[in-house]
Amino acid sequence: MKVIEKIIELGDGRSITIETGKLAKQADGSVVVKMGKTMLLATVVSAKDAKPDVDFMPLSVDYKEKFSALGRFPGGFMKREGRPSDYEILVSRLVDRALRPLFPEDYHAETFVSINLISADTETMPDALAGLAASAALAVSDIPFMEPISEVRVARVDGEFKINPTRTELEAADLDMIVAATMENIMMVEGEMDEVSEAEMLEAIKIAHEAIKVQCQAQIELTEMVGKTEKREYCHEDNDEELRQLIIDKTYDKVLEVARRKNANKHQRAEDFAAVKEEFVTEYSEGKEESEINMTLIGRYYHDVEKEAVRNMVLEDRLRLDGRKTDEIRPIWSEVDYLPGAHGSAVFTRGETQSLTSVTLGTKLDEKIVDDVLYQGKEKFVLHYNFPPFSTGDARASRGISRREVGHGNLAFRALKGMIPADSPYAIRVVSDILESNGSSSMATVCAGTLALMDAGIQIKKPVTGIAMGLISTAGAEKYAVLSDILGDEDHLGDMDFKVTGTRDGITATQMDIKVDGLPYEVLAQALEQARQGRLHILDKIGETIEEPREDLKPHAPRIVSMDIPKDMIGAVIGPGGKIIQEIQEVTGAVIVIEEVDGKGVVDISADNKESIDAAVARVKGIVAVPEVGEIYKGKVKSIVTFGAFIEILPGKDGLLHISEIEHRRLQTVDEVLKEGEEVEVKLIDIDAKSGKLKLSRKVLLPKPERKKKEENK
C-alpha cells in the first residue's frame, strides 16, 4: 500500500490534507480530504464506454453525511441514513455545477462522483471542502477532465474576509459565499449577504479565487505524484463532417430569419425552429433508406446551428429572440390577495414566467425541525418552490420534488430570510407554485414572495426582488452582450446564468454559473451593475401593487402574543404533568407554547380571536404575578371554614379572609355572606414574613355603617 499525501496551508495555522492510496482503491479515483477532525472520502467511477445515442455528459454527484461521523444515531425507527436531506442535495448541486463544464464536450460515459462525510467536528464546515475532494478524486484518476477546480467559502467577519471560517465565526458574517474556480476562471458562485454592494461582492470573489489557485496547484502536483497525467483514451462520438456542413449551409440563414422575427411566444418560436429542421430532414431523406439517415447527428448539428445563429444575432445586431434590448425587462404585472383563504398571497408575472405564491402563518409548534448530522434546531421561516410540468407545457407526470426545485427554493429562501423581523413570533411558510416558466422562475419566486409577505402583514424590513442575467460572448470576451432578465433559450444557449437578488440598498443573495473560459472581472462588474438597475426597475413595478406591508394581519390569520416571564415561573405555568397549561388551553381555546430563551421564559399565546388570547394572557399573568400588599384582587371562594374563607386571588395563590374581615358587623357564620365558588373583591392587607401566608380583608373595601360614623363624629 502506497499512501500519497499533499498538504495545503491556509496561512493562518490551519491546513488541508489530501490523501490517496489508502481507501477505496477499486474506484477510478479516491481521496480523503482532512481539515481538523473533518474528513471527506470522495470517489469517482466512470464507465469505459458511453451508451448508444447519448450526446450529453451523464454525471451524477452525491454528497452524503454519515451520522457516525459525529458519533450520533440517525433518527427514526430504522436508525440508518435515509433519503438525502435538503442540505446534502444543495452541497451535491454545488459540486455538480462546478465539475460539469470541465469534462470534454465529447465525453459521454456515465460518471459517478460520491462524497461522504466520514468524520466531523462542529466547527469545520464540510460543504467548503466537498468540491476540492471531488476534483482531487478526478485528479488521481485516468478519467478525462480538463483541469482541476476547487471550492472555498469566503465570509466577511467583523469587516475582514476569511477563507473557510468556522461555524462560530460564520454566525457573525454579513457575507457568506461558496466560490468555485479553476486556476484561471471563476466557475460558480452561490451565497447570501446582508445588503452588500456589487463592489464588495466582487472583492470577495477575487479573494476566494486566490485561495482556490493554491488548491488547484496542489492537485496538479498530486496528479504528477500518482502518475495520472495521461488520461484514458475514448471515442464517444461518430461525426460526419460532410453532414455537419450540409446542415449549416441549408439551415443557418433560415434559422437566423426565425430568430429575427422577434417572437415573444416561446412555443411558437420553438415550432418555427422545428419547422426548419423538419424541412431539412424531408429534403435530405429523399431517395435514402431509413438506415442511411442518422437522426441523432442531425439533431446535434442542427442544435449547434441554432445556437450559433442566435448568438451571432445578439452579438452583431444587439437583438434578442423576443425583440428586447439587452438591458430591457419583460412586461410585469402583479396582484396581491388573490387567494382569499391564505394568510397572504400574490401573483407575479414577468413575460412568460409566473409565480403564484402563498404565505401561511403558524405558531412555534409549526416550526421546521432540522435533524442533520451537523445541525439540529428549528427554522421559523421556510420557503418551498414547486415546478410542475404544465408550467412549460410538458405532458408528463410530476414525480416528487427534484434537486432543481430544492436548489431554486433555497436561493429564494436566502434572498428573503434576512428581511424577516427577528422578533416576529410567527412560523412562516412561503410556497411558490410556478404556473408558467420561460426563464428566471426562482427570481419570480423572490418577487412574489415579497408581495405575499407584505400582503400577509409581515413587517419585512425592505422589499426584495431578483433578476437573472445572461451572457453571449466570443472567446476571451473580446465581444460580448450582457442580457437582463434572460429567457429560457438564452440561458440554454448562453455563457452565463447570473441570478442576483436584493433591496434598493444592496445584494441579499446570488447564484452564478459560468460556462466559458477567460471571463474578465470587468464583464462581471457590468453584469452586476445591469442587474442592479433591473432590480430597481422591478422594485418600482411591485411598489405599484403594494408599497409596504399591511398594518394588520388578515382577519382569519392566527394572532400571537408573546410575553416574557421569570425563568423560575416556567414550571408554575406548565404545572405538574402539564396540568395547568392544558387547563388554560382548554378553557380559553388558545394555544400556548413556552420555551427558555436567554435565561428567561418566553410564552407565545396564539388563537384566531382576541377574546381567547386576552383570557389566556390574563391567566398566565395571574400565575406569574407576585401578590402585593395593598392591592385589590377579584378572587374566588375556594373553601369555607368556621373561622373564615380561603380566597384564590391569583391562580394557585390562596389567602385567608378571616370571618372578622368579611364585614363591619359581627358574623355568626361565614356562609351568611359567602358561598363556595362565588367571586369576591378583597384587599391583601398583610403577608406573613415567616410562612408567606396571605391575609385578606373584604370589609376595608366596604363603606362603614352610618351609626358608627355618627358616633365617631361626636
Find, among 458, 459, 451, the residue nearest to 358 by Cα.
Answer: 451
Q: Where does 276-393 show beta strands of DSSP type E? A: 332-336, 344-350, 353-362, 368-371, 376-379, 381-386
* Spatial CB neighbours of 366, under 8 Å, sequence gap ≥ 6: 427, 429
d(CA 37, CA 400): 36
- The C-alpha torsion from 288 through 293 and 299 to 300, rounded to 10°, is -130
Q: Can you state the angle between helices 86-99 and 403-417, rounded to 10 degrees? A: 100
Is 598 marked as binding a ligand?
A: no
**Residue 440 CA to chain centroid, in angstroms?**
16
As to burial, measured by CB atoms within 10 angstroms (0-12 exposed, 13-18 middle, 19+ buried), residue 93 is buried
CB 113 within 8 A of CB 62: yes
How many CB atoms neighbour CB 685 within 10 A? Answer: 14
d(CA 248, CA 18): 48
d(CA 271, CA 452): 36
Within 46-192, where are the H helices? 86-99, 127-139, 167-170
DSSP-derived secondary structure letter, 641: E
Find, among 430, 434, 507, the residue nearest to 467 by Cα.
Answer: 507
How many CB atoms neighbour CB 4 within 10 A? Answer: 15
Q: How many residues does the chain have?
A: 714
Is 491 marked as binding a ligand?
A: yes
Within 227-265, where are the H helices? 241-259
Q: Dihedral of CA 118/124/130/136: which sign?
A: negative
What the block records as the C-alpha cell of 134 is: 471531488
Per the annotation, where are the binding residues?
491, 497
Per the annotation, where are the binding residues for Mg(2+)?
491, 497
